[in-house]
């Protein structure tokens, strides 16, 4: 049924230059696609549209980080462990299973994911674990360690390992200290990036929807969780279908159309910042051609959330009868910045000044090491540390003559006068804050594919079927087709000059003088060109018996793609008219 549509779309994509499988001349390679001329233009327009909405209009800044990053970055981010799958294949039935999951299910061991492969193999043998599908013993089966990241070496030799980034986000997080400086250490601020990311998928499928190299558009918004609130008013009345986790487990659960303000007020979306960007994203997907009747926001159920996310919503679209993920909206809290703060040499915080400095009493100690050393020998350093901790934790303990601290299993008693304990008044002008991260992360390729799928139409014109792409004029690869009615009597020259003129006015124009006019219209319909301009005899000022009354010299027809309706405009107004149509400042009916 709907797979016919996807077959037709893939065929159209290849035939008309939207996208094709990479390296077909060499047998092809799974999971990689090359965008052809139409596809590259469409993709660029979608990216520009995203940039305009999520970066420029929101006042966020855009960066461009490398696709290769050194190994320590991914140790900190958790991708080296978390992105690792341990696959074990059953010798009897051939099914593959996650070995770490089997271990977790059948033993008391948790987080088997972080156990080295060789040890997991030993555990499988030790507990005599069996295949969940057929019950055959798995002992002795090799466990394949599969990391979804592409590994590479940086520089000669293999001294420095690097990985192709599995998401663009880390490229932003690791530069946070400098980016915060650019933002003058003022929260909130947002950093966007559009770029390629790579995942060595086990099984790429479904054309552009699951690939090994793809383009992400991400925004990392850094906020003070205690202070910053989104300007919800601007999207409060936007409505979208919401599909909360609780409804997904119900038998008759389905998405419900609700206002952004409502989902915030009722706590359906827990974080107002997430709700704010859901509202913006909904509007944006609409403008690039995603059908809002086949669109929803679905909340992740607790089991499917990523390692960093505390609340996560996906934008989903229905394509070929399946709901696919278009993007994720995650509240990442301070997970990423805290990790990089801990793993790197830099501080990943901003200093927030109080309106009025506060004075606090702060207990301090200055242990007398000339006493502790002789008294406790090798343990003296640990004892000093314990005293310091105690002072911070429980200053009251220093009120007597002696304090006792525990180091390992031993207890040590120290005279208070040797600890250098005192309570000082300290004036704090502010505090270091680790910002929380709000992350709208969108897949450009999936958005593009969905827009194509949702805009692919068939209808009938004068008894002939035609197929066309009802792409919004802002993202269509080409805005205007310019044709001479026939390439004779000077119409070709006039039309070519007109095409040049329109290009100079900043429009994306294609010129075509081959074959019959109807064929040329259909060609442009198929690649989604919203407007076609035709130069005819009336344009040249030649009176014709059947000329329509509006026709005059230096006028041309403009034909609209979806309705195939035509109207006549003066050539001198043409560039402005078309620009207005493209930018949505005018509709075809206004012309």
Residues that bind RNA (CB under 7 A): 3, 11, 14-15, 21, 27-31, 78-79, 82-83, 85, 87, 89, 94-98, 101, 148, 166-167, 199, 201-207, 210, 304, 306-307, 461-462, 464-467, 485-486, 488, 514-519, 521-523, 525-526, 534, 536-537, 544, 546, 556-557, 559, 564-566
Query: What's 539-585 look like in SS3?
Result: CCCCCCCCCCCCCCCCEEEEEECCCCCEEEEEHHHHHHHHHHHHHCC
* DSSP helix/strand/coil, 491: helix
User: CB neighbours of 420 closer than 8 A, spacing ≥ 6?
Assistant: 364, 365, 366, 367, 368
What token pair was written down for 72? Answer: 């320590």
d(CA 218, CA 212): 18
d(CA 365, CA 371): 14
Q: Return the number of the residue (31 or 279) whose C-beta is nearest RNA.
A: 31
The least distance separating RNA from the CB of residue 26, rounded to whole angstroms, comes to: 7
Task: Say if CB 564 and CB 460 are below 8 A apart.
Answer: no
The least distance separating RNA from the CB of residue 366, rounded to whole angstroms, comes to: 45
Q: Return the number of the residue (189 or 468) whose C-beta is nearest RNA.
A: 468
Backbone angles phi, psi at 299, to 5 degrees: -80, 140
The DSSP-derived string for 100-130 is: HHHHHHHSS---GGGS-HHHHHHHHHHTT-B
Q: Return the number of the residue (42 or 209) whose C-beta is nearest RNA.
A: 209
d(CA 568, CA 591): 8
Write the DSSP symbol of residue 209.
G
d(CA 160, CA 156): 9
* DSSP helix/strand/coil, 6: helix
The least distance separating RNA from the CB of residue 230, rounded to whole angstroms, comes to: 25
The least distance separating RNA from the CB of residue 78, rounded to whole angstroms, comes to: 7
Cβ atoms within 10 A of the Cβ of 160, count?
13
Backbone angles phi, psi at 359, to 5 degrees: -105, 125
Q: Return the number of the residue (9 or 438) whose C-beta is nearest RNA.
A: 9
Alpha helices in 409-516 (DSSP H): 444-455, 491-504
Q: Return the number of the residue (383 or 499) whose C-beta is nearest RNA.
A: 499
The least distance separating RNA from the CB of residue 422, rounded to whole angstroms, comes to: 47
* DSSP helix/strand/coil, 366: coil
Q: Return the number of the residue (296 or 520) whose C-beta is nearest RNA.
A: 520
Helix axes 99-106, 117-126, angle to 10 degrees: 40
Q: Return the number of the residue (380 or 532) whose C-beta is nearest RNA.
A: 532
Query: What's the Cα-to-Cα distance from 564 to each of 205, 522, 533, rounded to whole Å?
Result: 36, 10, 12
The least distance separating RNA from the CB of residue 239, rounded to whole angstroms, comes to: 27
d(CA 82, CA 522): 50
The least distance separating RNA from the CB of residue 140, rounded to whole angstroms, comes to: 17
The least distance separating RNA from the CB of residue 190, rounded to whole angstroms, comes to: 20
- β-bridge pairing 189-198 and 61-62: parallel
Q: Return the number of the residue (436 or 523) whose C-beta is nearest RNA.
A: 523
The least distance separating RNA from the CB of residue 432, rounded to whole angstroms, comes to: 28
The least distance separating RNA from the CB of residue 133, rounded to whole angstroms, comes to: 7
* Integer-rounded Cα radius of gyration of the chain: 32
Q: Return the number of the residue (197 or 288) whose C-beta is nearest RNA.
A: 197
Write the DSSP symbol of residue 166.
S
Q: 């077909």: which residue's tokens?
A: 24
Q: Return the number of the residue (131 or 390) whose C-beta is nearest RNA.
A: 131
The least distance separating RNA from the CB of residue 263, rounded to whole angstroms, comes to: 23
Bridge partner residues of 391 (DSSP): none
What token pair was written down for 550? Answer: 């509006």
Q: Return the number of the residue (334 or 560) whose C-beta is nearest RNA.
A: 560
Helix (H) and strand (E) counts in the chain: 18, 28
What token pair was written down for 225? Answer: 């969780």
Q: Return the number of the residue (334 or 439) whose C-beta is nearest RNA.
A: 439
The least distance separating RNA from the CB of residue 203, rounded to whole angstroms, comes to: 4
The least distance separating RNA from the CB of residue 94, rounded to whole angstroms, comes to: 4
Q: Return the number of the residue (166 or 188) whose C-beta is nearest RNA.
A: 166
């Amino acid at each position: 049924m709907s797979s016919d549509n996807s077959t037709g779309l893939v065929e159209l994509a290849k035939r008309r230059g939207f996208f094709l499988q990479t390296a077909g001349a060499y047998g092809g390679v799974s999971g990689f696609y090359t965008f052809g001329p139409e596809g590259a233009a469409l993709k660029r327009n979608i990216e520009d549209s995203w940039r305009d909405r999520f970066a420029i209009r929101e006042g966020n800044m855009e960066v461009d980080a490398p696709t290769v990053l050194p190994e320590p970055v991914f140790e900190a981010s958790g991708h080296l462990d978390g992105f690792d799958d341990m696959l074990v294949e059953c010798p009897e039935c051939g099914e593959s299973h996650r070995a770490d999951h089997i271990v977790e299910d059948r033993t008391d061991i948790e987080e088997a994911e972080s156990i080295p492969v060789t040890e997991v193999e030993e555990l499988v043998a030790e507990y005599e674990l069996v295949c969940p599908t057929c019950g055959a013993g798995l002992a002795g089966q090799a466990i394949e360690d599969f990391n979804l990241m592409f590994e590479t070496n940086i520089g000669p030799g293999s001294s420095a390992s690097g990985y192709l980034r599995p998401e663009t986000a880390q490229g932003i997080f690791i530069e946070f200290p400098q980016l915060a400086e650019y933002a003058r250490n003022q929260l909130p601020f947002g950093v966007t990036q559009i770029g390629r990311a790579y995942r060595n998928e086990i099984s790429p499928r479904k054309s552009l929807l699951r690939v090994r190299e793809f383009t992400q558009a991400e925004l990392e918004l850094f906020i003070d969780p205690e202070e910053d609130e989104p300007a919800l008013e601007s999207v409060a009345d936007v409505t979208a279908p919401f599909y909360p986790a609780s409804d997904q487990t119900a038998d008759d659960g389905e998405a419900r159309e609700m206002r952004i303000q409502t989902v915030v007020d009722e706590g359906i979306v827990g974080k107002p910042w997430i709700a704010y960007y859901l509202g913006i994203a909904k509007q944006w997907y609409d403008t690039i051609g995603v059908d809002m009747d086949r669109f929803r926001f679905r909340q992740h159920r607790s089991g499917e959330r990523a390692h960093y996310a505390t609340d996560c919503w996906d934008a989903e679209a229905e394509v070929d009868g399946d709901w696919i993920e278009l993007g994720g909206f995650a509240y990442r809290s301070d997970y990423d910045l805290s990790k990089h703060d801990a793993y790197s040499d830099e501080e990943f915080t901003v200093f927030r000044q109080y309106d009025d400095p506060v004075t606090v009493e702060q207990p301090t100690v200055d242990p007398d090491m000339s006493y502790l050393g002789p008294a406790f020998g090798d343990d003296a350093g640990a004892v000093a540390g314990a005293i310091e901790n105690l002072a911070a934790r429980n200053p009251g303990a220093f009120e007597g003559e002696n304090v006792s601290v525990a180091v390992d299993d031993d207890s040590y008693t120290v005279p208070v006068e040797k600890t250098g304990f005192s309570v000082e008044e300290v004036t704090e002008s502010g505090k270091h804050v680790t910002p929380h991260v709000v992350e709208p992360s969108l897949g450009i390729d999936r958005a593009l594919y969905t827009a194509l799928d949702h805009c692919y139409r068939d209808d009938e014109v004068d008894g002939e079927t035609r197929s066309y792409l009802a792409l919004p004029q802002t993202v269509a690869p080409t805005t205007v087709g310019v044709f001479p009615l026939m390439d004779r009597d000077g119409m070709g020259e006039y039309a070519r000059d007109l095409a040049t003129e329109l290009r100079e006015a900043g429009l994306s124009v294609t010129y075509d003088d081959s074959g019959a006019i109807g064929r040329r219209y259909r060609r442009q319909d198929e690649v989604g060109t919203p407007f076609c301009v035709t130069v005819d005899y009336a344009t040249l000022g030649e009176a014709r018996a059947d000329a329509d009354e509006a026709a005059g010299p230096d006028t041309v027809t403009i034909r609209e793609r979806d309705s195939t309706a035509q109207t006549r405009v003066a050539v001198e107004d043409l560039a402005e008219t078309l620009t207005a149509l493209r930018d949505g400042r005018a509709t075809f009916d206004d012309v």
